[in-house]
Amino acid sequence: MKAIKLREADAMKEKLVSINPGNLSKVGEVDITTKEELAEIVRRAKQAQLGWEALGFHGRRPFFNSLAAYLLDNWQEIAKSISLENGKPYLEATLAEVYPVIDDIKYFAKRAQRLLSDAKIPIRLFKFIGKKSYMTYRPVGVVGIISPWNYPYLIPFSEVIMAMVAGNAVILKPSELTPLTGGKIQEAMDAAGFPRDVFSVIYGDGRTGAELVKAGLSKIIFTGSVATGKKIMAAAAESLTPVVLELGGKDPMVVLKDADLDMAARGAVWAAFMNSGQTCASVERVYVDESIRSEFTELVVGHTMKLRHGDRLDDHSTDVGAMIDERQLAIVESHVADAVSKGAKVLTGGKRPEALKGYFYQPTVLDTVDHRMKIMTEETFGPCLPIMGFRTEEEAVRLANDSRYALTASVWSKDIGRATSIARQIVAGTVAINDHAMTYGIPETPWGGSKESGFGRTHSTIGLMEMVEPVHIHVDRGWLRRKPWWYPYGDSTSRFVRAIIWLTRHLGFLID
């Protein structure tokens, strides 16, 4: 089982050991952050944040330019280290983790000042007596980020960028399964010359994360399981610490009968098996029109059987790598077994490959599935693609919405108008048409969901707004030295009330 392994070191510090999930070898280790160390890190971060905010956007921008330059110079080494600790192929680590971070840096560093500039609030009647309003935005303070193991570089780093470009300090707790990748983020920030203590990494398991939530930070951003998200929300409520939660999904793919079937099949295979299916926005259930179901399924099986599965991550000979640990692998096995026991058919895959040493599960396609099965209702988070038919578009929408999750979805059709109409009926934070799951890598587009997929957003202007506190400034120019609604009440107050009622009735002020 790839979990934290604790031992007493010579310095009596507990260690967190990182294991390569592909061959079960040790990759490295880090010291677990103690409660006392965390308290000091938080204290220093709060102090450092004041100076970081005072720099302003122009003062902060050069640090991000240096950061982007560092990543562009060192992307190969970073991608290889992600592969070793996470188990995903080197090319996938590059495309899905390292490059999007570079794009995020470039986008937000250049545009944050404009996106967070003061915004005028138009007012109507009261502007005639010298009133004006506008919004301004200030950083929330110190942001705590608790990140997952499935995208250990992209997910936290993109959130770090948004938080810090807005003027916040950040304390990151990476997953106990991928601590070294968190260290790589620290290396990059140090190499770029960021001021000391505006960014810190702490290490540990869920207990360390729990201490971070209780540490008096300004905001917590968590990506992970529903169960842990609920615990974080409950703990944060004790101090009214605001949270952003992204808690996974059971994302549907709807294939209409006029879809480009080969494109849809290739899209389904990639979106289901990328990162060994360990993506919150993976296609975890496919609904395909019955009239094309057989042809579509045959194409999916054909493309799946061509996938190269293994632990040779850096020589371009592997498409699907290892899963993260024994626990996650066992969940996949139990979901497949449950489906088979209830009538599902395994068309390809469905077991561990005997020739591979690590935590591997074959890319698996299932047919004859329904919503009695866990594989159609619970988050599997593994390389499984169940396919179910539908007869009407209304049925497809009903099936897609029959979930306690609502993160992403996709609709596949040559008729964009028709696909858009269906997309508007699906409950999800993002619904893509003729693609799936890739918008996390676009800094302009928001990311997040509803139901048990959580709440709040990252990325885009909406995500950037999560990193600031909106402040409403209201100005009176002093045109009226005594306002008609002030004391003492009397005839003048009565005349004012009658006047605004008359204006509203006859000229449409206030309620137009």
pLDDT tens per residue across span 44-54: 999 999 999 99
Whichever domain contains 58, its CATH number is 3.40.605.10
Is 238 in the same domain as 256?
A: no
* pLDDT given at position 63: 98
Interatomic CA distance for residues 508 and 512, integer angstroms:
5
Is 241 in the same domain as 284?
A: no
Mean pLDDT of 508-512: 58
Distances (CA, A) of 382 to 165, 278, 281, 440, 506: 34, 5, 12, 19, 64
pLDDT tens per residue across span 490-504: 999 999 899 888 888
The answer to whether the CB of 402 falls within 8 A of the CB of 393 is: no
DSSP annotation of 45: H
Is 242 in the same domain as 267?
A: no
In this predicted structure, the answer to whether residue 303 has a pLDDT above a threshold of 90 is: yes
Selected catalytic residue, list 97, 159, 176, 246: 246
Mean pLDDT of 85-102: 96
* pLDDT given at position 10: 44
Is 196 in the same domain as 314?
A: no
- Establish if 481 belongs to a structural domain: no
* pLDDT given at position 315: 78
Selected catalytic residue, list 53, 280, 379, 466: 280
Q: Indicate the average pLDDT of the chain.
A: 95
Is 240 in the same domain as 260?
A: no
- Domain range spanning residue 128? 15-247+461-469
Q: Is the dihedral of CA 354, 356, 361, 363 positive or negative?
A: negative
- Establish if 84 belongs to a structural domain: yes
> For the chain, what is the domain count?
2
Least confident stretch, 7-16, 41-50, 100-109: 7-16
> Is residue 280 among the annotated active site residues?
yes
Read off the tokens for 285: 């259930």
Residue 426 pLDDT level (bands cut at 50, 70, 90): very high
- Establish if 220 belongs to a structural domain: yes
Is 266 in the same domain as 355?
A: yes
- Establish if 414 belongs to a structural domain: yes
The answer to whether the CB of 268 falls within 8 A of the CB of 286 is: yes
pTM: 0.95
Least confident stretch, 43-52, 110-119, 367-376, 476-485: 476-485
Is 229 in the same domain as 103?
A: yes
> Is residue 384 among the annotated active site residues?
no
Whichever domain contains 256, its CATH number is 3.40.309.10
* pLDDT given at position 506: 82
- Establish if 270 belongs to a structural domain: yes
Is 292 in the same domain as 174?
A: no
pLDDT tens per residue across span 246-300: 999 999 999 999 999 999 999 999 999 999 999 999 999 999 999 999 999 999 9
Is 155 in the same domain as 204?
A: yes
In this predicted structure, the answer to whether residue 68 has a pLDDT above a threshold of 60 is: yes
Interatomic CA distance for residues 174 and 152, integer angstroms:
7
Is 47 in the same domain as 163?
A: yes
